[in-house]
Amino acid sequence: MSKKFCSNCGNQVNMEDRFCENCGFGIVSEDKVSPAEPAKSGNKKAIKLVASFLALVLIFVGAFNWWLSRDKEPQVSNNKPASTQVEDEKSAPEEIEPTLDLTKASTYLSNPGLDLTFFVNYPDGQSGIVNRISGKAVDHESVKVTEVELGVDMGQEFGFGSHYVERVDGTYIIYDFTPNEIAPILKNNLTTGSSWDYVSENGTITWTVADMGVTLDLDFAVFHNCIIIREDNQAAGFQSLSYYAPGYGIIYVVSPEGGYEYYRLTGVSEISEDEAKDTISKWCPNYLNIKDDRTQN
């Protein structure tokens, strides 16, 4: 009989198991791993996804079955992808316009204490709802915020975490399930057209600033001073445009042509510091060991 191993800790699991009994790591869409090197195969997969928040969302949970659907486009008032303005005669939704230092990459991270709801479309045609909880649980001062993505599949909750580190040149990400890897997400003092890379053995990921100062109307709220980052992820074979809003992180992701929504914010609520920390400690088994002592590659 074939054997199956957890790519996070190497523990042998049953073929029908959805989560590892030892570490809780989701194994729904994992490849079968040989007993001689369970950790190596998992790390290879993790490296392919590292530095791509969207790719993580789409690939890591892309195999889950969803039945919810929603087909709604943001109103577009010009030729820039999904950049919108509220018409005078329209009943305008609540406007969210924080006064922050837009030269700092960390300004575009989500603030601790948020529970954001997203509608997600996967490339295979499936769709669903996920929640993203942000909070402060890591003691190291360089870690600005931790986000946990949560969902439910067939009545069973799943989740994974990402830690955001502030450095002199910008913001970096450490995924909790690959705690020894770090990659750049946003740079300080961004200008339209500026770009940066992450290079691994599996391919190069290139980010380019497509636009800045964008106003995005998502019907329930208007977000100002957004930046649009174009991602060309050779490691995952994926391209996208991600909209970052100050204080909210990524709120909207579309295909480069703007015709397909991958990730759309549909609701914002606040949670307590303790609730956020409990969520992080539950789904981030490595959070106590996260600090800024990793090299980029």
pTM of the model: 0.67
Distance CA 246, CA 105 (A): 9
Low-confidence ranges of the chain (pLDDT < 50): 1-2, 28-92, 297
Question: Are 99 and 230 part of one and the same domain?
Answer: yes
Quick one: pLDDT at residue 66? 33
Strands 221-233 and 94-96: parallel
Quick one: pLDDT at residue 102? 84
Quick one: pLDDT at residue 26? 62
Tokens of 15: 């073929």
| Position 79 in a domain | no
Tokens of 180: 């020894």
Question: Are 149 and 258 part of one and the same domain?
Answer: yes
| Position 61 in a domain | no
Could you list the residue range(s) of the whole structural domain that residue 30 is in?
Answer: 4-49
- Residue 188: name the closest of 204, 167, 163 by CA: 167
| Position 139 in a domain | yes
Question: Are 109 and 255 part of one and the same domain?
Answer: yes
CATH number for the domain including 150? 2.40.360
**Which are the contacts of 278, defined by CB distance < 8 A and separation ≥ 6?**
none
Question: Are 102 and 45 part of one and the same domain?
Answer: no
| Position 63 in a domain | no
Give the number of domains in the chain. 2
Question: Are 18 and 99 part of one and the same domain?
Answer: no
